[in-house]
Amino acid sequence: MKRNNTIHKDFTANTSFLDDIITNYDTKGENFGNQDRNSLKLYDLEGMTINVKSFKIPNIVNQIAYRFFRKSKAQRSYEYANRLLELGIGTPQPIAFYEYKTPLLFKKSYYISAHLAYDLTYRELTFDFDIPNYGAILRAFTRFTFELHEAGVNFLDHSPGNTLIQLNGGDYKFYLVDLNRMEFGDLEFETRIKNFARLTTHKSMVEVMSDEYAKLSGYNYEKVFKLMWGETEAFQERFHRKRRIKNKIMFWRKKK
């Protein structure tokens, strides 16, 4: 099996260390977060904490697609992180990506980045309404999303766990993670507002975000809210419908 990698110019001196942690990924490193879908581990690099995301081996169709036709999730994560930083958008420093391939199939891939210290994620905003300065944080997040859109970034995985927040005594900073699904280019109004659909189920939050986005963009509040709340409800309906279908399938599997 062939291995290839790309290492950021600022970390080429650490190539041997990076090669080693990828080679020995199964036995080295500290597990971090949920390990169900993809594995994430932490390592110490000369006093700097870095994390390595190990993407699971894709299904056979995608093994062919990633081998010949599409960039891997690890490569896209690395390239998109660099592009975001060039645009002045927060994301942990990209360090490297590694891939394993056979002549016909794509297998494992790994994305390495700096591990960022943060105070909370957007997810906490969806259930803890007693967070100090809650409204200010939510409005600052909306401004951050507006800046993404103005920069031509459509973050397709704009969901509760994928924005890290540093409070900094009121100088709020936001950082995107899980970067492998993005589109770049001018965003139409509908695309911009649809980008909020996965963030919350709470109408009160949508009202605040709609108000802030309307002020920033010059769009009418009622128009923004109607579309944002409609897209939120539509996403939730699709999400729960898929879950019901999946549960039915799993039920029949258990019966076999």
- 5-35 pLDDT, tens digit per residue, is 999 999 999 999 999 999 999 999 999 877 6
Task: Specify the domain boundaries for CATH 1.10.510 within the chain.
Answer: 120-239
| Assigned token pair, 199 | 């963030």
Residue 52 clears pLDDT 90, i.e. is over it? yes
pLDDT value at 247 more than 80: no
Pick the CATH number of 120-239 from 3.20.20, 1.10.150, 3.30.70, 1.10.510: 1.10.510
Whole-prediction pTM value?
0.90
pLDDT of residue 85: 98
pLDDT at 201: 95
Structure confidence at residue 255 as a pLDDT band (50, 70, 90): very low
170: left (phi over 0), alpha (psi -120 to 50) or beta: left
The reported pLDDT for the residue numbered 245 is: 62
**CATH 3.30.200 boundaries in the chain:** 2-114
Examine the pLDDT at 118 and tell me if it is beyond 50. Answer: yes
More confident residue, 79 or 39: 79
Q: Which fold has domain 2-114?
A: Phosphorylase Kinase; domain 1 (3.30.200)
- Per-position b or e across 53-88, b if 16+ CB within 10 A of its CB: bbbeebeeebbeebbeeeebbbbbbbbbbebbeeee
According to the model, what pLDDT value does residue 246 have?
62
Q: Record the tokens describing residue 29, joined without a space.
A: 């490193």
pLDDT tens column, 128-170: 999 999 999 999 999 999 999 999 999 999 999 999 999 999 9
Which one, of 218, 215, 216, 193, lies nearest residue 206 by Cα? 193
